[in-house]
Amino acid sequence: MVLDPTSWTYSPRQEAILTRLVPAWITEDFSPVADLLLELGTPQPESAWSPRSLPNGRLQGMYEVWRGHAGGAGLPGRALCDPAAFGELAAVMMFLDFREDGRSLTYRHYGHELAAHANANWQGRTTAEMAHLSAYSLLFASSYLASATLREPLYTELVSAPNLVTTTWCRYLLPYADELGRITSFACGNVPVPGLRSWPLAEGRPQATKNRRLTLSPEEQAATSGLFNMERNARDLLAFAPTAVMVVAPETGLIQFSNEPMSALLGHSAAVLQAIDPRRLFADPSGYDRALAQALSGAAPRDCEVGLVCADGSERWALMSAHSTHFDYSPRITFWLYDISARKAAEEALQAARSQQAQTIRQLQAALAQVNTLEGIIPICSYCKKIRNDEKYWLQVEQYISERTQARFSHGICPDCMERHFKADLEEARKLRVKP
């Protein structure tokens, strides 16, 4: 029997880890769980309860929406925990609801930008399932439990799991309560930030201390917002490009990002494209391999003609260019594919027409050659009128001409021969006709 992943709960060992991690979030002191962090493969996170200054405008915007929902008194109601209320910010947000066990949560919404960064979309799945797939995810799960315990928004900075490409995730947990005051849901912003172990450590500030309130200088806020806006601009340029685009992460070999024209070209959704080996998209993967290797070496191959295999099994043709770039703050290879299927079809039709034309010319030349065989000097017997062929055989005139042309013969008697050979018979016939 296959176990439904959504029915998973935390194992006893996972519960023991959660029990140790939750107090660390609450006290902002992770020294007692240093062994767990080593086991999970991550350095000490940074955290702050109810911060008033956040590393970029999107996180700040999430806080403003949440504060408006709260109305200045207590926690906002669960009914207001809706992606639509956050507008475009929901692209980098998750919305989670506590399950009946009160420990694990279900991902009700998973922003498409997060899915692109993580190469996965967890909508409809649970934190317990994630914990069974990666122990690292217990850090996330414990932060929700800590926020539900303290009943405050929690800002965190966590270094990525080894299989992810973005260095640091800046997360902002915003709790929502039901009519009885119980925390039932979270709106969680999850913004990737480039190349930083954490903001405080990168700026030389001391380690987190108990009850610390995170504050950033105007210069820090400007630097973070500038970097993040650059990433958003690059992503938007590729997302709205009219040409099919895919961005490949060299360390995993997988597609990290693809735009709508890419999906339209191949018939695969972005989620499917991120889950398959891009070599499977090519009729002959060697062209893709060469372009990837050249781009990794610093070259920029252009207009490579490649065959593509679509979701329905049909084939299309494209001109492919590739170059090395930075995307999501990491070295990536961007591929541009321009659909030339219509041009290839026209070229094939023209080639077929030319082939047919060449065949017709050959046929006409052969027919002309047959006609020309009767030109020149023909040796013919002066008595019987037989003709000598190239093999020195004497042939009747009819046979000789028939073998060299399309002509066919029917036989009759001309008036002169009739008179010469049948004169007596003709005279006898005339006498019979005039007899009284």
Which one of 215, 238, 261 terminates a domain?
Answer: 238
Co-location of 46 and 130 in the same domain: yes
State yes or no: pLDDT of 24 exceeds 70.
yes
Do 183 and 158 share a structural domain? yes
CATH number reported for the structural domain that contains residue 328 in this entry: 3.30.450.20
Q: Indicate if 301 and 354 belong to the same structural domain.
A: no
Residues 153 and 260 in one domain: no
Banded model confidence at residue 308, pLDDT cuts 50, 70, 90? very high
* Residue in 344, 264, 267 with CA at minimum distance from that of residue 306: 344
Domain shared by 80 and 226, yes or no? yes
Same domain, 87 and 55: yes
DSSP state, 135? G
pLDDT of 232 above 60: no
Higher pLDDT, 8 or 119: 8
Give 213's pLDDT tier (boundaries 50, 70, 90). very low
* Residue 209 and residue 81 in one domain: yes
What pLDDT score does 200 carry? 39
Domain limits at 43? 5-238
Q: 230 falls in which pLDDT band (50, 70, 90)?
A: low
Note the Cα 284 to chain centre separation in Å. Answer: 16
Structure-token pair, residue 17: 């880890």
**Do residues 294 and 399 share a domain?**
no
On the question of pLDDT at 51 being above 50, the answer is yes
Q: Which letter does DSSP use for residue 126 in this model? A: B
Q: Are the CB atoms for 170 and 177 separated by under 8 Å?
A: no
How far CA 17 is from CA of 12, 42, 255, 344, in Å, comes to: 9, 15, 34, 60
Same domain flag for 70 and 93: yes
Q: Do residues 347 and 332 both lie within one domain?
A: no
Nearest to 164 by CA among 276, 274, 38: 274
Q: Please count the structural domains in the chain.
A: 4
Which residues neighbour 177 within 8 Å (Cβ) at sequence distance 6 or greater? Answer: 74, 75, 76, 77, 78, 151, 183, 184
- Which pair of tokens denotes residue 225? 């917002």
Res 287 pLDDT > 90:
yes
